[in-house]
Amino acid sequence: MKFKDVYSGERVTRKFSNRKVSEKMLARVINKAQQSPSLLNSQPWRVYMVTGDALSNLRKDFEQNIKDGIKPHEDFATILSLNWDAYPSQSLATMGASQPYFFNNKSELFTNANDTMFNAQDVAFLTIPKASPAWSVFDLGIFAQSIMLLALDEGLSIMPAHSMVSYPELVRKYAQISEDELVGMAIGIGYKDNSAEVNDPKYYPPRLPFEKIYKLVK
């Protein structure tokens, strides 16, 4: 695909079909993403691609935790404390937390998608060592974006979600991640369920006006 088509087509998918991605294709995407830049070429990331029975078992326990009302406690937990600066808070209030689902009284679409791990059949869990500088979080973000663009280039769909790392102890158990790694992010990779309402483009959220984020200083 042309880069501009891949890039402009980058939207998240909140419901996948049951079709699995081939193991070869998954490995190819991650392998290519290793080209990503990182501080001093430190490459702090590791990828645990969870699929099949391991993912089914993880999803079962994840859904049970939600039923039991267990509060999310991501390793990057402060994101949910909503201790944000006023600048991103305004985006959250006007377009982030209030996704178009909410404007359309369809919050259950968003919630159900998250609570079922988007029916993802293949999930890449991304870690960095617990002993990491903030730069490694930055590096992990770059790496994640590479994975997503490369997956889109293969004709796949993507779903980056902190909700899938809400219970890091479950991810550690089923993905076989050691205690000294931080479970940073999860990216569902797969085929979009085109019949799912939650994936309707009318729910795509807009971006801030360019003038709000850009300043040319001479």
Site residues, ligand FMN (CB under 6 A) = 11-12, 14, 99, 110, 114, 160-163, 185, 204-205
Residue 1 CB coordination number (10 Å): 12
CB of 159 to ligand FMN, least distance (A): 7
Residue 66's H or E segment, with its range, is: helix 52-67
Tell me the CA distances in angstroms from 142 to 33, 45, 90, 137, 211, one per residue in order: 9, 10, 24, 9, 24
Name the nearest CA neighbour of 73 among 137, 162, 141. 162
How many C-beta neighbours within 10 Å does residue 112 have? 13
Residue 110 CB, shortest distance to ligand FMN, in Å, is 6
Nearer of residues 14 and 192 to ligand FMN, judged by Cβ: 14
3-state secondary structure of 107: helix
Identity of the residue, 107 or 178, whose beta carbon is nearer to ligand FMN in the bound complex:
107
Tell me how far, at minimum, the Cβ of 2 lies from ligand FMN, in Å: 19
Residue nearer to ligand FMN on the CB measure, 147 or 175: 147
Q: 161 or 171, CB closer to ligand FMN?
A: 161
Question: What minimum distance in Å lies between the beta carbon of 92 and ligand FMN?
Answer: 10
